[in-house]
Structure 1
Amino acid sequence: MGYTIQLSVTGEFDEVVDVTITLLQDEGFGVLCDIDVQETLKEKLGEEFQQYRILGACNPALAHEGLNEEIELGALLPCNVLVYETVDGDVVVSAVDPQQLVGIADNEALDSIATEVHDRFERTLSTVNDELQSSSEA
């Protein structure tokens, strides 16, 4: 079983990142960190790499609820959402599947929270293409 939920889209990389962040915000997530892997590998190692961003997404209310159930859950937070460019030039938006992630904790009290986060990520990803198409038509 996979550990991510993903969608391949057609669009400009930076626009996909911006749309993804906006849609995450619409679902109640803040982006606590935005790691530019391409830039970091170039700066630290002098290595070339495709465009690749890691967005650390967190819904404060759901995180609070989860931490109250399992204090060590913080080791699995924030939930990462990736936006990266493939060798074919497509852009992939991929989110960790929280249902797989919290399975590590083996705490049934987290199941409903993981399902809620999963559903919000699914809605976000399913809307990315629609948003990109509507912005290109404007």
Structure 2
Amino acid sequence: MNLGLTTTLTDTDFADAKQRVTDALADQGFGILTEIDVQATLKKKLDEDMEPYTILGACNPTLAHQALGVQPQIGMLLPCNVVVRADTSDTTGRSLIVEAMNPDLMVSVTGEAGLEPVAAQASELLGNAIAALAGN
């Protein structure tokens, strides 16, 4: 099982990529609940430098409600994390990787068959968002 759904954005900057990801997710019913700037946090807390790396906590309220109805502990795996990060293999610095958590992980981690339809729908919607980014 893949950990995530992935695409690469080229010829863009980090701010534009984050906005495109946010818009693509919104088109599929996801809002952003949290944003963690990993690069800034590691610099501030550890004085370590790294490439741009942001974790977006995406939530589709309908799917979250359904999942919580099946398994209240599933909240520990919510929201669906989407990462926007620099492609360190790109020497031009103009490629960014977007990765969304594979919702099927919720089912495999919990073993809860009742989460399968929710994970399938979340996979479809996140897949649509990633595909829309890939088409841009």
* TM-score bracket for this pair, using the shorter chain length: over 0.9
Q: Does the CA-based 8 Å contact 2:107-2:113 persist in structure 1?
A: no
For 2:98, give the aligned amino acid: V
Residue aligned with 2:134, SS: helix
> Of 115, 124, 136, which residue of structure 1 is paired with 2:120?
115
Q: What secondary structure sits across from 1:2 in the alignment?
A: coil
CA RMSD of aligned residues (A): 1.0
1:63 corresponds to: 64
Cα displacement (A) at 1:5: 0.8
Q: Alpha-carbon deviations, 1:2-52, whole Å to 9, x = none?
A: 211101110212111101001111111110001000111111111101000
TM-score (norm 2): 0.92
Q: Give me the whole-angstrom Cα distance separating, in 2, the residues matched to 1:41 and 1:98.
A: 27
Unaligned residue ranges in structure 1 (runs of 5+)? 132-138
Amino acid at match of 1:26: D
Deviation of 1:102 after TM superposition, in Å, equals: 2.7
Decide which structure has greater helix share: 1
- Aligned residue pair count: 131
What aligned pairs does 1:1-138 form with structure 2 within 5 A after superposition?
A: 1-10=1-10, 11-87=12-88, 88=90, 89=93, 90-131=95-136
Deviation at 1:106, TM superposition (A): 0.8
Identity across aligned pairs (percent)?
36
Give the secondary-structure state (helix, strand or coil) at the position aligned to 2:120: helix
Q: How far 1:100 sits from its partner (Å)?
A: 2.1
TM-score calculated relative to the size of structure 1: 0.91
Deviation at 1:101, TM superposition (A): 3.0
Q: Is the 8 A contact 2:103 2:122 kept in 1?
A: yes
CA contact under 8 A between 2:7 and 2:130: conserved in structure 1?
Answer: yes
The Cα of 1:103 is off from its aligned counterpart by 1.5
Q: 1:134 maps to what in 2?
A: none
What is residue 135 of structure 1 aligned with on the other side? Answer: none
SS in 1 for 2:50: coil
Provide Cα deviations, 1:93-126, integer angstroms capped at 9, x if missing partner: 0000001233111111100100100011111011
